[in-house]
Amino acid sequence: MHSKWLRVLLPAVVVLIWLVGAAFGGPTFGKLEEVSTNDQASFLPASAESTEAGELQAQFTDSDALPAVIVVESDTEIPPADLGAYDDLATSLAAVEGLEPAEAGAPAVIGPVPSEDSFAIQYIAFVSDDAELGEVVEALREVLTAEIPEGTAGYVTGPAGFATDLVSAFGGIDGLLLGVALAAVFVILLAVYRSVILPFLVLLTSVFALATSILLVYALASWGWIQLSGQSQGILSILVIGAATDYALLLVARFREALGEFESRWDAMRVAYRGSFEPILASGATVIIALLCLLFSDLNSNRSLGPIAAIGIVFSLGAALTLLPAFLLLFGRAAFWPLRPKAGTHHIQPEGVDATGLEGLKGIWKRAATLISRHARTVWVASFLVLAAGSLGLFQLQANGVPQSALILTESNAVDGQDALARHFDAGSGSPVSVITAEQDQDAVLDVVKNQSGITDAALTVESPEPGADVVVVDGNVLITGTLQSQADSEAAEDVVRDLRTALDDATPDALVGGVTAIAIDTNDTAQADLVKIIPIVLAVILVILMLLLRSIIAPVLLISSVVLSYATALGVSALVFNNVFGFEGADASVPLFGFVFLVALGVDYNIFLMTRVREESLRIGTRPGILRGLGVTGGVITSAGVVLAATFAALGVIPILFLAQIAFIVAFGVLLDTLIVRSLLVPALAYDLGRRIWWPSKLGRAAGPVHRGGSSGASAEGHQRRAEPAHRG
């Protein structure tokens, strides 16, 4: 009686604990934006030149106001007689609450400044750091809509305008993204299990994992220990939903299989848990450690994503290994209704009895296993060539950063305003180059900046706009600002700033160059350096984990090589699609690194699911039949897991941000490659071709036949192995 009550009470207590955590974590999800930032400058390391320049530049003003560039563009020339109306517009703009002068005694709105071609008017307003940025920018846009003359269009662009539109684009990251991801997962689970109850149990496991992980992420971000951004927030949601569902699918598959052997749900769970615990834990540990390798990044956005995503995977693991078993124990066979598995319908073959590995397999996975048994070498060579061909597109990947105007994929007032600004003014207006230098070098440095091709004007910062005002000197330094001819975030502007840095190094090496363009340059350079540094670290860590898990050297090297090839193919095909189908201007410099970490870590997951089962079967019936049987019995669940993960990452595409759209495509396509080609054909065919050598130097790699649980292999096993491993045809 006590045992019966315990079997009901224990799962119920586990579910209750997770429910309480989710109840607190769920409401916290909507508060993440309070501790989130999308400021690119804050992502740079303190050692970056633009970071040092920005810190010194801040000393030259008492204001932290963010500039908004306001442009009014006319269809016809604006006659001088009409400029008075634009003076009145400046007064209306200045009346918007939340603006402040950039310097003491200066107006809150500078302008109107007519363009040389007389088709546009420009203003610069400064949004107070204490004001709600989005509300102020929207108020400025409302003033423009109400007061600009007929036949003109008004825009609010510059740093304030872009920041507002970027936040607006991330607006769906709380509800829309999660809703689309959960809906996609639910439909897939419904199709896979043809059960009404089970999809809800799996989704609840994922949602509870996400909700509880949010509590810790929010706390760490509010304490300033990690830096949360809209990108990392979206990736966290997708990663937790996808990973928790994947781990759940593996446990559910083993549980359903065990229910076909045992009458008791507890006996079935004991067998299922024992068979799935190690691969689930190893898969989760692989992803966690790979993500934590991002801590070696010099880019703060990359370094912060590591622990944020790793926290999500920890909670995904915890939910899959505690909450889901509790759900399954409470519901038992009813979880699979209406297709409840019946005891006695599934029997494990005794060791060495299944000589081919094909007995009991059905459908497409039996056909795949049969194909590999007959033409292993042909299959893996053909798979390799297909992947290698796809990887050739890698040379067309333009991951050198993109203009800020290309980051937002939907209609943006700030992007349209930037285009209007470029048509009528120096496109770099509102986002100048900033140069900090010693007072004694100011004349020489000013000459270098003025003479730099691509900079139309340069001046020292003075105490007031009046003629003859003194130059502002702070701790022996002066500030020089230069106006770029090209858009501040364009490739042309970056070339100008790189050339300026080179010229200043020759004139005075202590001068520092900052500003929007310099920040973009340093961000891209740091991201590319991170790629070269972190990839070898991730590969080495995952290789060690696989060696410990599979007790082999050859198999882990094979798996790592296959996933790297899959990554190269995913990136190559993505580059072709980005350039020729979507027409993207390029890719963020962090895209290859994020794609690598997710694809390699998650791609190895499926190989872990496959090869741990292959090793288990190889111990019973020999390596080659074990490979075929492992492929057959895991084919359905791993394919389902891959489709689920691809669908969840594809959901990132609903957020109209270039970086997320590109990550969504790369990871979704790469996961499908891993699932359908690498894990289904390349890895098992190559392993079958190598035979028991893949387990070298473990005992399984040296044994002539199946290795029994006791660790010995006998004459009877050798006989079965001779039957099980016939000479295969390449």
The model carries a pTM of 0.82
User: Residue 597 half-sphere exposure, CB side, CA atoms within 13 Å?
Assistant: 30
- pLDDT attached to residue 325: 94
Q: Which residues contact 556 (CB under 8 A, 6 or more apart)?
A: 543, 546, 547, 550
Q: Both 166 and 186 in a single domain?
A: no
* pLDDT at position 380 over 90: yes
Rg of the Cα atoms in the chain: 31
- Going by their DSSP bridges, the two strands 152-157 and 109-114 should be labelled as unpaired
Q: Both 242 and 280 in a single domain?
A: yes
* pLDDT at position 665 over 90: yes
Does 474 fall in a domain? yes
Q: What is the pLDDT of residues 163-199, one digit of tens each?
A: 888 878 776 566 677 788 888 888 888 887 788 888 8
Which CA distances in Å does 327 have to 14, 186, 202, 209, 243? 9, 17, 9, 14, 18
Q: Both 577 and 639 in a single domain?
A: yes
Q: What is the pLDDT of residues 106-123, one digit of tens each?
A: 777 888 889 888 899 999
**Boundary residue ending a domain (115, 143, 170):** 170
Q: How many helices (H) and strands (E) does the chain have?
A: 23, 8
* pLDDT at position 479 over 60: yes
Residue listed under structure tokens 């059905």: 362
Helix segments in 465-553, DSSP class H? 491-507, 516-550
The contacts found for 73-77 with CB under 8 angstroms, 24 or more apart, are 73/119, 73/120, 73/152, 73/153, 73/154, 73/155, 73/420, 73/423, 73/424, 74/119, 74/120, 74/121, 74/149, 74/151, 74/152, 75/151, 75/152, 76/119, 76/151, 77/117, 77/118, 77/119
Q: Both 544 and 457 in a single domain?
A: no
Q: Both 656 and 609 in a single domain?
A: yes
Q: Is the distance from CB of 512 to CB of 48 less than 8 angstroms?
A: no
Does 584 fall in a domain? yes
Q: Both 244 and 275 in a single domain?
A: yes
- pLDDT attached to residue 299: 81
How many whole angstroms separate alpha carbon 85 and alpha carbon 154? 14
**Pairwise pLDDT comparison (493 vs 713), residue with the higher score:** 493
Does 720 fall in a domain? no
Q: How confident is the model at residue 103 (pLDDT cuts 50, 70, 90)?
A: low
- The enclosing domain of 581 has a CATH number of 1.20.1640.10
- pLDDT attached to residue 22: 85
Does 395 fall in a domain? no
Q: Both 272 and 381 in a single domain?
A: no
How many whole angstroms separate alpha carbon 28 and alpha carbon 13? 23
How many whole angstroms separate alpha carbon 645 and alpha carbon 653? 14
- pLDDT attached to residue 57: 83
Q: Is the distance from CB of 439 to CB of 476 less than 8 angstroms?
A: yes
Q: How confident is the model at residue 150 (pLDDT cuts 50, 70, 90)?
A: confident
- The enclosing domain of 157 has a CATH number of 3.30.70.1320
Tokens of residue 392, six digits: 């050739």
Q: Is the distance from CB of 321 to CB of 277 less than 8 angstroms?
A: yes
Does 33 fall in a domain? no
Q: What is the DSSP letter of 582?
A: I
CA dihedral for 162, 167, 173, 177, sign (positive or negative):
negative
Residue listed under structure tokens 């394919």: 639
Q: Both 125 and 236 in a single domain?
A: no
Q: Both 455 and 552 in a single domain?
A: no
Q: What is the pLDDT of residues 4-35, one digit of tens each?
A: 666 668 888 888 999 988 888 877 766 766 66
* pLDDT at position 349 over 60: no
Which CA distances in Å does 77 have to 84, 118, 422? 15, 5, 17
Lowest mean pLDDT among 303-312, 335-344, 354-363, 387-396: 354-363
Q: Is the distance from CB of 281 to CB of 317 less than 8 angstroms?
A: yes
Q: Helix, strand, coil proportions of the chain in percent (round to 5)?
A: 70, 10, 25
Q: Both 91 and 209 in a single domain?
A: no
Q: What is the pLDDT of residues 236-247, one digit of tens each?
A: 888 888 889 889
Q: Which of the given ranges, 395-409, 462-476, 669-683, has the highest pLDDT on average? A: 669-683
67 beta partners: 126
Mean pLDDT (whole number) for 561-573: 92
* Dihedral (Cα; 61, 65, 66, 70), 10-degree rounding: -100
**Boundary residue ending a domain (457, 489, 514):** 514
**Residue 497 domain boundaries:** 432-514
- pLDDT attached to residue 282: 86
**Boundary residue ending a domain (170, 204, 225):** 170
Determine the angle formed by the axes of helices 176-193 and 623-650, rounding to 10 degrees.
140
User: For the chain, how many structural domains are there in total?
Assistant: 4
Apex 448 CA angle, 442 and 450, nearest 5: 95
Q: Which residues contact 680 (CB under 8 A, 6 or more apart)?
A: 368, 631, 635, 639
Does 716 fall in a domain? no
- pLDDT attached to residue 703: 64
- The enclosing domain of 464 has a CATH number of 3.30.70.260
- pLDDT attached to residue 723: 38
How many whole angstroms separate alpha carbon 353 and alpha carbon 724? 9
Q: What is the pLDDT of residues 401-449, one digit of tens each?
A: 777 778 888 888 998 988 888 888 876 766 789 999 998 888 889 999 9
Q: Both 510 and 537 in a single domain?
A: no
Share of the chain above pLDDT 70, in %: 88
Does 267 fall in a domain? yes
- pLDDT attached to residue 33: 66
Does 363 fall in a domain? yes
Mean pLDDT of the chain: 83
Q: Both 158 and 182 in a single domain?
A: no
Q: How confident is the model at residue 262 (pLDDT cuts 50, 70, 90)?
A: confident
Lowest mean pLDDT among 133-147, 290-304, 339-353: 339-353
Determine the angle formed by the axes of helices 265-292 and 591-621, rounding to 10 degrees.
140
Closest C-alpha to 110, from 90, 139, 84, 137 = 90
